Structure 1
């Protein structure tokens, strides 16, 4: 199965989905529940159209790390000043995908070849690289940028198209990586480089009959559960796992009927999900309510939100965007990718 579509067929998929499903649902909330008020502002925006933020990680100093899909780059954004700096550009690649902290100020990054014009990856091109901000002057590093030492963790030539990634636990040295067209999750030991398929399920597979074979996308581990989005199936799911990341429970569909991209999940199980072509971020409560946080199908507030990341105290949500590259707002509006700051009152 090839991961290939034309621009117009991608837009047709999105348009059909938007016509078939509402943007969010209002279900009955439990007694005493109150939706938080939010303040939305742009923290940083790239200068050129076509720039595409794919994923976000949060450093202990409060700054953000952004991966870009349109170029093989990781950027750092100061959340106080809004200033951005290029951390590293990976050679022999076109794109960066998932990013996750695997040790104190050490991050794993998914790198590979992918075209934002044809939506086609290059088979055998995907690998996981390491950015270490603790010893930027270390001589043993393979490559050194101004901000971090860079080295390879592992190549995964069997992967069809790696996408979102999350750290299982830092103690286990394991990360979990979504393989979107394969409908599976790879488990990678970041110390040894050993990898294998940890789980696969129907809920992770691309929906049948879709030109875009995009299944499982974003992941997050919370309290012994792996939460994940499944894009063309329009589902948000979870599965209970053991301490080796092996499934020990049912694959549960928590919510459906919207187009999920990358996710973050709060400590109480509340999920925040970027909906890319629906130009919004939605909240899914632990008891199943889906509601709008910010943006909207016809809103230019955050065109093409791709990813979101909560601060440690869960009072701020940072959202990365593609600028509406997949589905321009009202069919025409696009802008450079940016980072939006959503503050909860």
Structure 2
């Protein structure tokens, strides 16, 4: 029996998505915090220093927030970003400032030349915000993940998922340019998913990113300006080709280097530094995840917050969700 169990675990690891417990018996499952009653798609989630969660959605100009610590949280408007109809990612800048990518949303993209990087000031609890400035980012139909450069904290990198490149925006000088391009950033010619590079996360001198079309989590060393130094290193690849029903979205990293990535259509996976993947939420355990879009580590590092887009295809509309999953120590 012992040898059989070992063989099963080895086979699961080789498959890439080990359906095993994250820790304990039974493992912890995600708990629901909030769900929209209407057809609101939550694209991303950001944890403010106050502990409030900032949500970016489609179909509205408003960034909204909720307090995950209360029994029955409600969303409240924080700031309206011009005439935009959708927001993607948020990155923290110094002095209570935040960069937000927004534009006029269309399916799998944004209307060309409508995307901009908004710099907003957000303070207080509950949070209130105001627009400081907006920086046009012409010539792109997608600004997806955002990450501020550690040694140039007023400059952010943005994932152009459609063109397969990294954009660089200096929020002081308002300069916009292409930081770099690489085949690892494109969709790989995937006929089902027109999106390549998606979520971004910088840890030290390393830029981590997911690629939806290629089904990869990868990293590359960057310099202080965000330029690529060396070759892209693929950490893991989905065991089956990426499709609309099998694709990475946004992610976050814990202090031990484990990545927690949203994986369409219904799960979150933990990806160890060696590339082994384990399902930790969804996929029939705990609440159903309806199109998970992003994962963010809680301020104390002991849990993750998960956002979903919802399900609008069936006879019953399921709005976007916010969930929490307790983590085991790493």
Report the TM range for the smaller structure's normalisation. 0.7 to 0.9
Match of 1:38 among 12, 28, 46: 28
**Counterparts of 1:2-13 in structure 2 under 5 Å?**
none
Matches of 2:82 and 2:287 in 1, distance apart? 34
Query: Does the alignment pair 1:261 with 2:249?
Result: yes
Change over 3 Å in CA distance of 1:333–1:219 after alignment to 2: farther
Change over 3 Å in CA distance of 1:120–1:40 after alignment to 2: closer
Matches of 2:212 and 2:233 in 1, distance apart? 15
Match of 1:341 among 320, 324, 328: 324
Whether contact under 8 Å (2:187, 2:195) holds in the other structure is yes
**Counterparts of 1:271-286 in structure 2 under 5 Å?**
271-277=259-265, 279-286=266-273
**Counterparts of 1:151-230 in structure 2 under 5 Å?**
151-169=132-150, 171-230=152-211
Gaps of 5+ in 1: 1-21, 137-145
Corresponding position of 1:16:
none
**Counterparts of 1:213-252 in structure 2 under 5 Å?**
213-252=194-233
Query: Does the alignment pair 1:296 with 2:283?
Result: yes
Whether contact under 8 Å (1:222, 1:269) holds in the other structure is no
Matches of 2:211 and 2:199 in 1, distance apart? 8
Task: Give, in angstroms, the shift of residue 163 of structure 1.
Answer: 1.1
Whether contact under 8 Å (1:135, 1:149) holds in the other structure is no
Match of 1:87 among 68, 78, 81: 78
Change over 3 Å in CA distance of 1:131–1:170 after alignment to 2: farther
Whether contact under 8 Å (1:319, 1:341) holds in the other structure is yes
SS at match of 1:275: strand
Task: Give, in angstroms, the shift of residue 261 of structure 1.
Answer: 0.4
Corresponding position of 1:119:
108
Change over 3 Å in CA distance of 1:291–1:332 after alignment to 2: farther
SS at match of 1:38: coil
Matches of 1:229 and 1:120 in 2, distance apart? 17
Moved more, 161-170 or 256-265: 161-170
Task: Give, in angstroms, the shift of residue 134 of structure 1.
Answer: 4.1
Whether contact under 8 Å (1:110, 1:162) holds in the other structure is yes
Matches of 1:170 and 1:104 in 2, distance apart? 15
Match of 1:309 among 296, 299, 319: 296
Count, aligned residues: 303
**Counterparts of 1:118-157 in structure 2 under 5 Å?**
118-134=107-123, 147-157=128-138
Whether contact under 8 Å (2:94, 2:153) holds in the other structure is no
Between Structure 1 and Structure 2, the one with more strand by share is: 2
Q: TM-score, normalised by structure 2?
A: 0.84
Gaps of 5+ in 2: 1-13, 239-245
Task: Give, in angstroms, the shift of residue 91 of structure 1.
Answer: 2.8
Task: Give, in angstroms, the shift of residue 160 of structure 1.
Answer: 2.8
